[in-house]
Structure 1
Amino acid sequence: MGQRTVLYDLHLALGAKMVDFGGWDMPLHYGSQVDEHHEVRRDCGVFDVSHMTIIDIAGEQAEAFLRYVLANDVARLEGVGKALYSAMLNDQGGILDDLIVYRTASGYRLVVNASTGVKDLAWLREHGSRFAVEITPRYDLAMLAIQGPQARARCSELVNQARAAIILALKPYSFVSEGEWFIARTGYTGEDGLEVILPAEQAVPLLNDLIGAGIAVIGLGARDTLRLEAGMNLYGQDMDDSVSPLEANMAWTIAWEPEERDFIGRTALQQQRTQGLDSKLVGLVLEERGVLRAHQVVRVAEVGEGEITSGSFSPTLGKSIALARVPLATSERAEVEIRGKWYPVRVVAPKFVRNGKPLI
């Protein structure tokens, strides 16, 4: 038996198929993964993401600490209510985790991956011992993500006037605290939406309200196909501690300026940038029938071989798609081995769908 979120019993009552995910018992789907996928693309749906680890960072050296342990620069957060995406690296430049950091009135809030939460907390405490900081995991909180083109409009109808105004006015990659609620506008589906972090005991009533308003509950299965269509990496598949941000299409998350900022992994990244990369992360589209899966071999004529990191059938496109790490010289065509046979694939930019619209 794995760890369970506060919403576990409600998931069972809703008929969820439960699976292990990073040591947590989480809903894979509630009947139809494909229907759930389409619901988010066309309207909106709600995900339980309470398994993710929330960590508050406070203290007089909180900014200096995060500027050291993160590749992106929290000094870019111009004021309370702003957020940014970053990687946390090891000394070799490998990605220990990807996360979102929010600047709060009392410091910063990190939301990190469920499977890496324990490791991340230990890493932060190890390096935080040299700074005047307080590192507090918030196991008392839960988090729901409401994603889809109608997410903000639908949610604004269910809450009080103050929260409705916040939801409708909220800018991308920002948040507002209202009472005990922390309302953010980031996401992992390629659609608009919200994340609500709130006291754990309030999560069940909120989810019931959302369901009562006709908002569909969405499992991990659709979450994966949605993020894959959006070209968003999954930690442990498309990146890990042996892969640098430069190799994972995350170069934009590295703040090289100011040059005097020394962050963990910087020297290794600079060396890699100077020497050049051997591989890149691309998108693949299978034009024939079949399904692309992680670890399938990718062959590029007269160039070399690579490997699929994430692959699935795309409900929006009606085709199988994948992310793959391939030789740098790869151009527009490749082949993938599926059950002993080679199938031609088209190589594309690793963003397939955004805001409900195909990009390939």
Structure 2
Amino acid sequence: MAKQTPLHATHVAAGARMVDFAGWDMPVNYGSQIEEHHVVRRDAGMFDVSHMLALDLEGADATKWLRGLLANDVSKLRTPGKALYSCMLNPAGGVIDDLIVYYFSDDNYRIVVNAGTADKDLSWMRRNIADTGANVTLESRRDLAMIAVQGPNARAKTWQALPGSESVAGELKPFQAAWFDEILIARTGYTGEDGYELTVPADRAVAIWDALAAAGVAPCGLGARDTLRLEAGMNLYGQDMDDTVSPLDAGLAWTVDFKDETRDFVGREALLAKPQANEMIGLILDDKGVLRAHMKVFTAHGEGETTSGTFSPTLEKSIAFARLPLGVVAGAPVEVEIRGKRAAAHLVKLPFVRNGKALTG
């Protein structure tokens, strides 16, 4: 039986179409996925992301342990509430998961991992703690719920729904978080729009969801979340990278920090031994059709494939991420194999859309 978030009954009562996602019964839409997409680009929408897992890390070795576990370097985090995006790699340099780390102090962090990899991640981390003998504790926080509020009006409507929160969250910069009334308010997201991700006690999730709805924030499902993140050039674990793919080949080289040559993180040697071999780039279809994952792409530099694809409601065109041989450049014409036939397309820099504006076409 699929797992349920604390907001499950609220989604069902609202008439959401529920689907299995990573073992969770989640809303894919509440009616029109296209309208949900547009409301996030133009106003404010909210997503139940409680299927993701928060982990609390504490202990004298917390910073040291994370510096050895993650490809990005948490020692950059010096301001309480500052967040860092990173990949967690295996020894071969493949991506076990991509995650966000929040710094509170040198011995206190929160880590948020993906739903589909949560059990694998937790097992890997605990095994690594045992192997390294790190003086840390790692606590799974399934007593929490998470709500993402996204869009140009998301912050103002969150302040309306949570009176007093503006005094704490109003000055937050992107990738910063602060506590308000037992709620962690983080200026992060997965849509390419401004807004917050709220981590709240599970028993308060329904009341906060209802308050946001009363403030004019529209409930949105995972369908719109996927089209929004793709337009925003944001990877999805299991499609755009996995434990067989290097972050260098997944367009995530910017998350790998080699600066400190004495920092020996898991996967470092493999990445240095096998440099980047592919380019992750955007693709727009010029002919008719819809781009999906795992379609062959033919370029002047050789073949590659799409990793994620969809119809873009903002651009009103079919778009995709493509993993292609090094040497390809934005603007170059390519062909994509769709149902056995080649269709014309062209390459573009990612992202396609940011802050409601199309950056390419």
TM range (shorter): over 0.9
1:45 aligns with 2:45: yes
Secondary structure at the counterpart of residue 166 of structure 1: helix
Secondary structure at the counterpart of residue 170 of structure 2: helix
Tell me the residue number matched to 2:17.
17
1:113 aligns with 2:111: no
Counterpart CA distance in 2 for 1:94 and 1:7 is 34
Counterpart CA distance in 2 for 1:327 and 1:171 is 36
Counterpart CA distance in 2 for 1:83 and 1:278 is 29
Q: Does the 8 Å CA contact 2:168/2:179 hold for their aligned counterparts?
A: no
Deviations 1:46-96 (A, max 9, x none): 000000010011000000110010011111001211111000000011000
Secondary structure at the counterpart of residue 100 of structure 1: strand
- Which amino acid letter does the alignment assign opposite residue 318 of structure 1? E
Matches within 5 A, 1:181-196: 181-196=183-198
Secondary structure at the counterpart of residue 63 of structure 1: helix
Q: Does the 8 Å CA contact 2:68/2:265 hold for their aligned counterparts?
A: yes
CA shift for structure 1 position 191: 0.4
After superposing on structure 2, the runs of 4+ consecutive aligned residues of structure 1 that deviate more than 2 Å are none
Which of 148, 152, 156 is matched with 2:151 structurally? Answer: 148
1:166 aligns with 2:168: yes
- Which amino acid letter does the alignment assign opposite residue 147 of structure 2? L
- Which amino acid letter does the alignment assign opposite residue 288 of structure 2? R
Secondary structure at the counterpart of residue 297 of structure 2: strand
Identity among equivalent positions (%) equals 55
Counterpart CA distance in 2 for 1:170 and 1:294 is 36
Residue-pair matches, total: 355
Secondary structure at the counterpart of residue 307 of structure 1: strand
Which of 320, 323, 335 is matched with 2:321 structurally? Answer: 323
Secondary structure at the counterpart of residue 46 of structure 2: strand
Counterpart CA distance in 2 for 1:268 and 1:261 is 14
Secondary structure at the counterpart of residue 191 of structure 2: coil
Tell me the residue number matched to 2:55.
55
Which blocks of at least 5 consecutive residues in structure 2 are unaligned?
Answer: none
Deviations 1:253-277 (A, max 9, x none): 111121101100000111123xxx3
CA shift for structure 1 position 211: 1.3
1:282 aligns with 2:281: yes
CA RMSD of aligned residues (A): 1.0
CA shift for structure 1 position 38: 0.1
Tell me the residue number matched to 2:247.
245
Secondary structure at the counterpart of residue 203 of structure 1: helix
Counterpart CA distance in 2 for 1:69 and 1:145 is 27
Which of 124, 130, 134 is matched with 1:131 structurally? Answer: 134
Secondary structure at the counterpart of residue 293 of structure 2: coil
Counterpart CA distance in 2 for 1:333 and 1:321 is 14
CA shift for structure 1 position 213: 2.1
CA shift for structure 1 position 353: 0.3
TM, length-normalised to structure 2 = 0.96
CA shift for structure 1 position 280: 1.3
Deviations 1:308-331 (A, max 9, x none): 100000000000000011121334
